[in-house]
Amino acid sequence: MEVREYTPASDEYAYTFGGVAPVFSVRPGSALRLWSDDAFGGKLRSIDDLSAEKVDLRFVNPQTGPFYVEGAEPGDTLVLHLVDLEPARDWGASATIPFFGGMTSTDRTVSLQASLPDTTWIYHLERERNTVAFEARFGEQRFELPVAPMLGTVGVAPPGGEVRSSLVPERFGGNMDTPQMRAGATVYLGVNVEGALFSLGDGHYRQGEGEACGTAVEGAMTSTVLVDLIKGGAPLWPRIEDDDHWMVVGSSRPMEDSWRIANAQVVGWLSELYGLHPMDAYQLITQIAEVPVANVVDNNYSVVVKVAKALLPTAQAFGGIHAELRALARTL
Amino acid sequence: MEVREYTPASDEYAYTFGGVAPVFSVRPGSALRLWSDDAFGGKLRSIDDLSAEKVDLRFVNPQTGPFYVEGAEPGDTLVLHLVDLEPARDWGASATIPFFGGMTSTDRTVSLQASLPDTTWIYHLERERNTVAFEARFGEQRFELPVAPMLGTVGVAPPGGEVRSSLVPERFGGNMDTPQMRAGATVYLGVNVEGALFSLGDGHYRQGEGEACGTAVEGAMTSTVLVDLIKGGAPLWPRIEDDDHWMVVGSSRPMEDSWRIANAQVVGWLSELYGLHPMDAYQLITQIAEVPVANVVDNNYSVVVKVAKALLPTAQAFGGIHAELRALARTL
Amino acid sequence: MEVREYTPASDEYAYTFGGVAPVFSVRPGSALRLWSDDAFGGKLRSIDDLSAEKVDLRFVNPQTGPFYVEGAEPGDTLVLHLVDLEPARDWGASATIPFFGGMTSTDRTVSLQASLPDTTWIYHLERERNTVAFEARFGEQRFELPVAPMLGTVGVAPPGGEVRSSLVPERFGGNMDTPQMRAGATVYLGVNVEGALFSLGDGHYRQGEGEACGTAVEGAMTSTVLVDLIKGGAPLWPRIEDDDHWMVVGSSRPMEDSWRIANAQVVGWLSELYGLHPMDAYQLITQIAEVPVANVVDNNYSVVVKVAKALLPTAQAFGGIHAELRALARTL
Amino acid sequence: MEVREYTPASDEYAYTFGGVAPVFSVRPGSALRLWSDDAFGGKLRSIDDLSAEKVDLRFVNPQTGPFYVEGAEPGDTLVLHLVDLEPARDWGASATIPFFGGMTSTDRTVSLQASLPDTTWIYHLERERNTVAFEARFGEQRFELPVAPMLGTVGVAPPGGEVRSSLVPERFGGNMDTPQMRAGATVYLGVNVEGALFSLGDGHYRQGEGEACGTAVEGAMTSTVLVDLIKGGAPLWPRIEDDDHWMVVGSSRPMEDSWRIANAQVVGWLSELYGLHPMDAYQLITQIAEVPVANVVDNNYSVVVKVAKALLPTAQAFGGIHAELRALARTL
């Protein structure tokens, strides 16, 4: 099976979902290998590169894409299977951008306090040990941490003619920043416009849940992706399936609303999969849901509600396409 | 080592943290085996028992205790190691109490809508398979789920002369409703009053993260607990340690505030354990924290921030008392 | 009509709602003249008195009371009519207490930032002009502002055996910090325990809506109050009536929940007063409610929803007791 | 002075801020008289017109515009003075749209409950008495309420290439739904794109604070507007000035964040106007701010923080342009 490769030039980066012409068309069933720059556009390369000087928050999370999916119409379900995520550089960067992040006042949770120090951390990748190294900036500590590549941002064009920054997580996906978005995961996104116009980027070599300071180990990434399409069946919010879990990502504010959104979608999904009455599905997830927070730093906070497949009888979502794509991925 | 057993009579149940005289004194270093009734006081015994008729929300989560810990003074750290949690009945109950829970309007998130149906589910325990059985109330489905016993409520008397309902999770612990409160866990609670006056209850035979409908598989529990005391060192918020993780539980509203609380405490804890500057600890947890939601249904929402010990060099918290208590537990 | 006067000694101050023995009993229909100390217990007397040194946040908002109301039983309605509020000192104080207030991170909305400077402002009362003078601490500006006395805190003992700090606004009233609590207002509070056990304090010589920095022009106050009782009819949340408005105060977090609470109560109140269906009352308040924020700084945020009597036909709440107490007040 | 009149055809309505070509250019200093349709596009004309059948939430709040302001560049301040708002029909409409509004679960604050009944209210305008009549749908009550015309929506194109629905209130203005947006008010909006591209619509014949059910007395409106431009000085969030108050509108979630935003902006504004240190301005607004809630129903909640000019010495904002435009308005 052919894998189409694409590396955007820096003037081809997209900074919004919607509002950008597609770079090319892809047929459902095809494979892509996409290079994406890091969230900072590669501008933080040493600890002396400060975000206040190098980063313009209107132009972060550069997207690779968008791609026009042939035949995709509003109401359809875009299916993206992440076959492989490979760090494309030997280092990643993280930074405490002034008034951005979870443990500081922000432009929304405003205070009159001074900002935290604008600081950059560089993580060196040790490929043989598959680690990135945390090196303290205010001390001498050095801890190697396992590489765990993920994509912060996967999304489609929004409905209603809206155009949203690539910093936003919403119904259309976007900057959800969940570690669940890793190799082996299949993402289901409702299509809002002809061609779906999906894009991806914001690779993380690893990220904790919540993404506390606002930036993970941000790194350029080479993502191998299978693209497919299901006619109809558009989920209201992004769903993720891997071999072990069904998941929904809700993104809103306050964080309890993100949770309510994802929870209701999981209730609906389990109702479909098992013929459960919503009240029974509600009862069931009360006892079995796992709820890892994704991000508490973006303009919407994202919460994942997930259900372990092992707890329930076998069932197939979206016609069993996840298993098909897993099998197909092995042939690449 | 002697284990003191205690089963309260129903007129000995406590329904608050603070405001109740201790049932007896315990010496630091001693072991207790405590029977606690379920959150409903055992009143929901069949699917025909409705919460509206049988449950008075002012008298739920009956506590076993409080216990006076000898020598405990404000500013000290109460240490409770959960050796074993054993379901004390062959069934548990769950219910969708009108206007209580996460997927309904409540007395706080008020709406003018009608309530969801007041429904009771009974879970039968299969001891040989170590499962509880979900049985649908609006359909025929039946799924057996692994038993995973935990305590919803562990707490001490609050400071400042306050007395709080056993439905409340707060700095003093209380109704945190996290599945992390299971056998093998050591809980650290700041002491606010002489004797600490701790109590526990609200056993769950299993619970999903978030406790979506507001009630887990509620069941009477026999808890074997080691009680110890560290002079001074009181943590501001409850900390939990097990063999694999350091954890802090934050409880407030909105849910992002619960997360901020727990995150800041973990920053502080890692700073202590590794001599990290707070900015470095902030950066580090950004890449390694796990954030499972505990409850989104109580009058404070609880979020756990946890760090896997395996990711960092060996370190000892509270003088290594967790390992000591684990060893001691094996002798019981 | 006799007016009973009471000035507590400083060791008679109460710092909680509930948990304190009454200072004396009052018969419904009687009048009290109560001296209350300021929120800081009078400890901030000059700009050199810093809150970090002089104020212990566990002992602020000293209450005058509690008073036992004869015949008051759970489910009854305590009626307090504020006849007159008179500044009892010639100065008031305000302070930006570290990590307390609305434009700073707090112990709940935690950040890692440094606190704002601990600063005290003293407001001198000009009795002839009826003003208090704002004097800048970081500049030379001086603005005289009209005195507008109000009580931050009016409450009864909570239900369920709870005891709450006098910093808390809740169903039982408490630290609502709304400028609506001024002379001419009648407050209706549901009785939770025998004797109601009401107290008041936290006088403000004036306060903006939101109480942004966390402390108003805090001043000792002499409050003349008529005390009455209606058997039954306990409102779920505090209601206030004056000559012009019906009002309800909701207190929770996040702030939209405070609003939802108060809104639902006003829907219910208008339904009672005019025989409206709740859907019609909901529609009506959509077009006529006024919603001044009360506080965004306490452990619950308080929002007032009010309806101008002039917009609707004449109606009587609680049997027209407000008008009766207004008339009675004129005889004092 | 000439007043340019414009009534859009229904296929000229705009449903977004940004993403729409301007209908014409206006020179700073000119006057416009603009007809705008109601939020429902005029589709709810009787109580038998139900929102579920007639209203598509992707196409509500039709905007009149956008207009290209000559010379406006990013960083400039667009100045719109509302000279007159005149109801353009003899009736207005309001509706409880399923899962939209403040006293119902929504697509964000999700629950599993059934929706409230989809109901339409028609308000007849009595021009001689200047009232609109509330007529109960579930009873016989009829109350005439004063007409108090305002615009729900006034905004410019967003920055960063974003395009936002006309349901959204944000930094660029938009659907703020505050009764302060009435004749006599001057609005200051930061310009984000060349020409500013402002539009307006969503006239309300009256609205309570909070807009509880989600829809005011929605009515077509004829708005007379003076358009002006100040080079530079773009405020971060929308400011409003009238003869009596300085105001800022903050829009976010949760509602305390809207308040924090507006409060910080008022601190900054008073600091500019009076040379106050931010700490002194913070202290000052603590004692003088008024905080009327605007909306708690849109995808951002809006809160107004306002300061009465009468409390402070005379000062001029934006070079005194409000007074100039007031004078100019009298000449129309």
Partner-chain residue, chosen from C136, C286, C291, that has the shortest CB–CB distance to D213 = C286
The closest CB to that of C103, out of A103, A112, A116, belongs to A112
Chain B CB contacts of A285 below 8 Å: 208, 212
Q: Find out whether B208 and A290 touch, Cβ atoms under 8 Å.
A: yes
Q: Is the ipTM of this complex over 0.90?
A: yes
Q: Which residues does chain A have within 8 Å of residue C99's beta carbon, measured at their own beta carbons?
A: none
Binary contact (B252, C282; C-beta < 8 A): no
Comparing CB atoms, the residue among C104, C113, C254 nearest residue A254 is C254
Q: Is A47 left (phi over 0), alpha (psi -120 to 50) or beta?
A: alpha
pLDDT of residue B238: 98
Residues B1-10: tens digit of each pLDDT: 899 999 999 9
Which residues fall within 8 angstroms of residue D14, CB to CB, at 6 or more apart? D20, D62, D63, D64, D65, D66, D166, D199
Residues of chain D contacting B97 with CB distance shorter than 8 Å: none
Is residue C139 classed exposed, middle or buried when 0-12, 13-18 and 19+ CB atoms within 10 A define those classes? middle
Q: Which pLDDT score, from 0 to 100, does residue B1 have?
A: 83
Backbone angles phi, psi at D157, to 5 degrees: -65, 140
Query: For chain B, which residues make up each domain, given as ranges?
Result: 3-92+147-230, 239-330
- Chain A residue nearest residue D108, CA to CA: A257
Q: Which residues pair with B229 in a beta bridge?
A: B78
Nearest CB to D111: which of B105, B112, B254? B105
Q: How far apart are CA D113 and CA A33, in angstroms?
A: 44
Q: Compute the CA torsion angle C164, C168, C171, C177 (nearest 10 deg).
A: 150
The answer to whether residue A34 neighbours chain D at the CB level (below 8 Å) is no
- CB within 8 Å: C162 and B164: yes
Whole-number percent of chain D with pLDDT over 90? 99
Mean pLDDT computed over C272-277 = 98
Which CATH architecture group holds B239-330? Roll (3.10)
Q: Are the beta carbons of D26 and D4 closer than 8 angstroms? A: yes
Percentage of chain A with pLDDT > 90? 99
Mutation target to probe the A interface, by most A beta carbons within 10 A, among C108, C112, C252 is C112
Q: Within an 8 Å CB–CB cutoff, is residue B81 touching chain A?
A: no
Question: pLDDT confidence of D58, banded at 50, 70, 90?
Answer: confident
**Is there a contact between C112 and B165 if contact means CB atoms under 8 Å apart?**
no
B 261-290 residues inside an 8 A Cβ radius of A: 263-264, 267, 274-277, 279-280, 282-290
Q: Please say whether the structural domain A3-93+148-230 has been given the CATH code 3.40.50.300.
A: no
Say if residue C79's pLDDT is above 90: yes
pLDDT in tens, C148-162: 999 999 999 999 999
Q: Give chain B's length.
A: 332
D37 residue type, one letter? D
Find the mean pLDDT for residues A134-159.
Answer: 98
- A330: phi then psi, degrees, rounded to nearest 5: -65, -20
CA-wise closest residue to A214 among A133, A296, A147, A153: A296
Domain B3-92+147-230 classification at class level: mainly beta
Interchain CB contact of B116 with D (< 8 Å): yes
pLDDT, tens only, D88-128? 999 999 999 999 999 999 999 999 999 999 999 999 999 99
Helix (H, G, I), strand (E, B) or coil at A160: coil
B282:C58 CB<8 A: no
Please count the CA atoms within 13 angstroms of the CA of B265 that sit on its side-chain side.
28
Is residue C280 within a helix (H) or strand (E), and if so which, with residue range? helix C278-288
Q: What local confidence, expressed as pLDDT, does residue D152 receive?
A: 98
In chain B, % of residues over pLDDT 70: 100
What is the pLDDT at residue B15? 98
pLDDT tens figures, A187-205: 999 999 999 999 999 999 9
Q: Categorize the per-residue pLDDT at D57 as very low, low, confident or very high, splitting at 50, 70 and 90.
A: confident
Cβ–Cβ below 8 Å for B110 and C261: yes
Section B106-133 average pLDDT: 98
Model confidence at B33, pLDDT cuts 50, 70, 90, reads very high
| Domain D3-92+149-230, CATH class in plain words | mainly beta
Check if C248 contacts D (Cβ < 8 Å). no
Q: Which of D97, D100, D113 to mutate to test the interface with B (most CBs of B within 10 A)?
A: D113
Torsion, Cα C45 C46 C47 C50, to 10 degrees, reads -50
The answer, yes or no, to whether residue D2 has pLDDT greater than 90, is: yes
Mean pLDDT of the residues in chain A: 98
Pairing of strands A30-36, A3-6: parallel
- The pLDDT of residue B58 is above 90: no
Nearest to A261 by CA among A275, A273, A247, A272: A247
Q: Give the pLDDT band (50/70/90) at residue B169.
A: very high
Answer yes or no: is pLDDT of A34 > 90: yes
Does the beta carbon of D234 lie under 8 angstroms from any beta carbon of chain B? no
pLDDT beyond 90 at C58: no
Q: In this model, does residue C1 exceed pLDDT 90?
A: no
The topology under which CATH files domain C3-173+183-230 is: Jelly Rolls (2.60.120)
Residues 6+ apart with CB under 8 A from C204: C92, C149, C150, C151, C152, C177, C179, C216, C217, C218, C219
Query: Residue C228 above 90 pLDDT?
Result: yes
B301: nearest Cα among C175, C257, C263: C257
Nearest CA in chain D to A14: D161
Mean pLDDT of D187-210: 98
Whether A30 contacts chain B with CB within 8 A = no
Residues of chain A in contact with residue B255, where contact means CB-CB under 8 angstroms, are 254-256, 259
d(CA D238, CA A109) in angstroms, rounded, equals 17
d(CA A298, CA B48): 46
pLDDT level of residue C290 (50, 70, 90 thresholds)? very high
Nearest C-alpha of chain C: how many angstroms from D259? 8
HSE of A89, CA atoms in CB hemisphere, 13 A: 21
Chain A residue with Cα closest to D263: A110
pLDDT of residue D46: 98
Q: Convert the pLDDT of each residue in B82-104 to its tens digit.
A: 999 999 999 999 999 999 999 99
Q: Do A103 and C110 touch (CB under 8 A)?
A: yes
How far does the CA of residue B105 sit from the closest CA of chain D (Å)? 7
Widest distance between CA atoms in chain A: 57
Q: Tens digit of pLDDT for each residue in A71-90? A: 999 999 999 999 999 999 99
pLDDT tens across B62-86, in order?
999 999 999 999 999 999 999 999 9
Tens of pLDDT, residues A114-141 = 999 999 999 999 999 999 999 999 999 9
Count of B-D CB contacts under 8 Å: 34
Query: Is the distance from CB of C24 to CB of C69 less than 8 angstroms?
Result: no
Nearest-CA residue of chain C relative to A104? C111
Q: Residue A81 has what pLDDT?
A: 98
Partners of residue D260 in chain A, C-beta under 8 Å: 108-111
Average pLDDT of every residue of chain C: 98
A-B Cβ pairs (cutoff 8 Å, strict) = 205
CB distance C175 to C202 below 8 Å: yes
Q: How many CB atoms lie within 10 A of CB A33?
A: 17
Q: Which residues of B touch D114 (CB under 8 A)?
A: 113-114
Interface of D with A in 49-68 (CB under 8 A): 58
Average pLDDT (C285-303) is 97
Q: Which residues partner with A249 through β-bridges? A: A304
Query: DSSP letter string over B239-289?
Result: EEE-SSEEEEEEEESSHHHHHHHHHHHHHHHHHHHH---HHHHHHHHHHH-
Question: What pLDDT does B80 receive?
Answer: 98
pLDDT level of residue A162 (50, 70, 90 thresholds): very high
D161 close to A (CB below 8 A): yes
Q: Would you say D101 and A252 are in contact if contact means Cβ atoms under 8 Å apart?
A: no
Percentage of residues of chain A with pLDDT beyond 70: 100
CA terminus-to-terminus distance, chain C: 6
Is the minimum CB–CB distance between C254 and chain A shorter than 8 Å?
yes
Cβ pair B276:A139 closer than 8 A: yes
Kindly tell me if the per-residue pLDDT of A58 is higher than 90. Answer: no
Q: Which two tokens stand for residue A11?
A: 């003037």
- For residue B57, pLDDT beyond 90: no
- Give residue D23's pLDDT: 98
Is the CB of residue A42 less than 8 Å from the CB of residue A31?
A: no
